[in-house]
Structure 1
Amino acid sequence: MAFEYIEIERVEKLTKKEFIENYYKPQKPVVITNQIEDWPAFTKWNFTFLREVAGDKKVPLYDNRKTDHTKKVNEPDFIMTMAEYIDILQKGPTHLRIFLYNLMKDVPSMKDDMKWPQLGLRLLKSLPLVFFGGQNAKVFMHYDIDFPNIFHFHFEGKKQCFLVDPKETKYMYRLPYSWICNEDIDFDNPDFEKFPALKNVKPYITTLKHGEMLYMPEGWWHYMKYLTPGFSLSLRSLAGRPANLLKGFANVAFNRYYDNWMRKRKGQAWLDYKDAEAIRRTNALLEKESA
């Protein structure tokens, strides 16, 4: 048994008014095509270009291993040069990926290749983050720590994107003091016997191609799977809803530090507790709703 997916709406280039009224205010995801054809990046950005301008830059790499108590939140598994990583990507399938990397801080000239979308959001110009993955690489299901609104632009190949409405967070087996779910969940092949609350989740799905943009509203869960080697650029704005702004502040200012402290203090026992507690809390809620 698998999820019943909802296809994310796809539209042509939007005006500011259309975006705000139809997608931002109702907090509805959307794929926008033909939005960045006037960016130099649309024709320039590929692996050959990146090897030329950023080949010598040291990049943070992650694989598909579960959270390690010896590492801090978002601490990379490996470090290598961009050129070495691109070589790996082009040789064949790999789980290695780049996550939350501010490439333009290291290569400022790349900012000249893009334009900041004029869609009514105040984007954080200091945080244009890039994400890379090889064929079959997967990004674990999570929502962003600071509850931003995200414009996610894909380059090279295809990437499948799965989104879950934050209204369904109570069914997602979210770990305490975290913004990820129980890592034993396989969202390609969910085990509804072990994780019965997932039956109440109706994920959204789309496949992004080169130059297409996905809008992800505040607090939406997302899981990405690279169908081919590729990379993406995310531009973000602060949460517009006060409740989300406060939750994001609590995550950044307290929860991540407490989680890191408990990993040092309790080790693997802390991670085991969080896994078990996520299951206990979620299944208890499910039983209460069924009563």
Structure 2
Amino acid sequence: MQAATGPGIDDRGWTEWIATNLLRGCSTDSMLQGMVRAGLGADPALAAIQRVADDPIFTAALRARRRHQKLLSVVGNMQSVWAADPRYAEIPRHQAIDAADFLARYVHAFRPAVLTGHARAWPALRNWRLDRLAARFGEELIEVQDGRNDDPRFEENSVAHKRPMRFGEFLAYAERTAWDNNAYLTANNGLLRQARFAGLLDDVGELPPLADRAALASAAHLWIGPAGTKTPLHHDTCMLFHTQIVGSKRWRLVSPLEWERMYNHNHVFSPVDLDAPDHQRYPDIAATRVLEAVIHPGETLFLPLGWWHQVCALEPSVSISYTGLTIPNRFEYVDPAMP
């Protein structure tokens, strides 16, 4: 049951609190005890609970809640069958795979995979080393996320953390820093769509199956940061490939069918930290099956649609993600946050 707070029994907040806890299945007695502890009289508190329970608007909400629970039971049962596979926690690795096989086994089956062969010969593995990028573009101004250490919701507030910096200065920070999440060049920097950096895409060689070369310039994103840079738990709204160029990253992944355990109350974000889960605050996370893969230079992770993921750079890191596919890759997700 949620904590009871509010100034008075007729306050709108109390009505919402009562309705929320009734929808969660809380008993009248437990709610009444909470309201009395908050300083409300027992009789008016009980009358308020009854008033909400008898309201036809609440009846409609309860019916919608039951339909929501049915949907959760459907996807929960699907996840149980899926996870019963003894190899469920393994993320397959392929040196080579043809497009038809990849489409059937990973895209249509919603399964992650690591591709190890196609990017091994990319010129980027040589040309995107931090010292070479600094020599080539060091005086250019870029936009990074900065001040992330002081904001636990830094990714949700990413726009507020944008700061201009000389590329060479940022690359020196990324190379010399032992372990830090304070500054990161992330996907929303738009660097690869700027004419002065367009030549970087010439260093991208063979693409994985179903990746669209014609869409690379408009759908590729560069990531650079020191060891310790972190992308918090969230899901994307499309499928993507993520190729590691310098250093290694650890990916932790959770099936989209486990959405209810992600405490997703805002857009695509979860407050859960899979590296150090708070089981007292987020108890449902204890039942979640977490998959893990470390992606090394020249390797590519395929992230299927809707999979939750949390990423951490284990070393100074350069990587590129791209979402342009030869199949439809635009999807709509309802924001769970109240308007």
1:203 equivalent to 2:286? Answer no
| In 2, Cα distance between equivalents of 1:200 and 1:233 | 32
- Please name the residue that 2:280 is paired with: 193
2:172 to 87, 97, 113: 87
1:142 to 234, 238, 241: 234
Give unmatched runs, 5+ long, in structure 1: 263-291
* Mapped contact 2:219–2:324 kept (Cα < 8 A): no
1:102 positional shift: 2.6
> Which has the larger Rg?
2
1:251-290 deviation line (CA, Å, top 9, x unaligned): 6xxx9xx99xx8xxxxxxxxxxxxxxxxxxxxxxxxxxxx
* Mapped contact 1:149–1:239 kept (Cα < 8 A): no
SS at match of 1:89: helix
| In 1, Cα distance between equivalents of 2:289 and 2:220 | 30
The range that moved more, 12-21 or 58-67, is: 58-67
Give unmatched runs, 5+ long, in structure 2: 1-87
* Mapped contact 1:132–1:231 kept (Cα < 8 A): yes
TM-score normalised by the chain length of structure 2: 0.64
* Mapped contact 1:97–1:133 kept (Cα < 8 A): yes
* Mapped contact 1:157–1:229 kept (Cα < 8 A): yes
1:142 positional shift: 1.0
- Please name the residue that 1:246 is paired with: 332
1:190-237 deviation line (CA, Å, top 9, x unaligned): 122221110221111111111110000111111111111112100103
* Mapped contact 2:128–2:318 kept (Cα < 8 A): no
* Mapped contact 2:228–2:312 kept (Cα < 8 A): yes
User: Partner amino acid for 1:180?
Assistant: F
Larger helix fraction of residues: 2
* Mapped contact 1:10–1:31 kept (Cα < 8 A): yes
- Please name the residue that 1:288 is paired with: none
* Mapped contact 2:125–2:246 kept (Cα < 8 A): no
| In 2, Cα distance between equivalents of 1:239 and 1:72 | 32
| In 2, Cα distance between equivalents of 1:61 and 1:239 | 31
1:168 equivalent to 2:258? Answer yes
* Mapped contact 1:154–1:232 kept (Cα < 8 A): yes
* Mapped contact 1:218–1:239 kept (Cα < 8 A): no
SS at match of 1:98: coil
- Please name the residue that 2:100 is paired with: 17
* Mapped contact 2:98–2:209 kept (Cα < 8 A): yes
- Please name the residue that 1:270 is paired with: none
1:181 positional shift: 0.9
SS at match of 1:97: coil
* Mapped contact 1:148–1:239 kept (Cα < 8 A): no
SS at match of 2:244: strand
Moved over 4 A (4+): 238-242
Higher RCO (CA-CA < 8 Å; seq separation 6+): 1
1:212 equivalent to 2:295? Answer no
User: Partner amino acid for 2:270?
Assistant: C
Larger strand fraction of residues: 1
- Please name the residue that 1:110 is paired with: 200
1:58 equivalent to 2:139? Answer no
- Please name the residue that 2:84 is paired with: none
User: Partner amino acid for 2:240?
Assistant: I
Distance 1:17 1:44, change over 3 A: same
SS at match of 1:162: strand
1:27 equivalent to 2:117? Answer no
1:13 positional shift: 2.1
The range that moved more, 50-59 or 80-89, is: 50-59
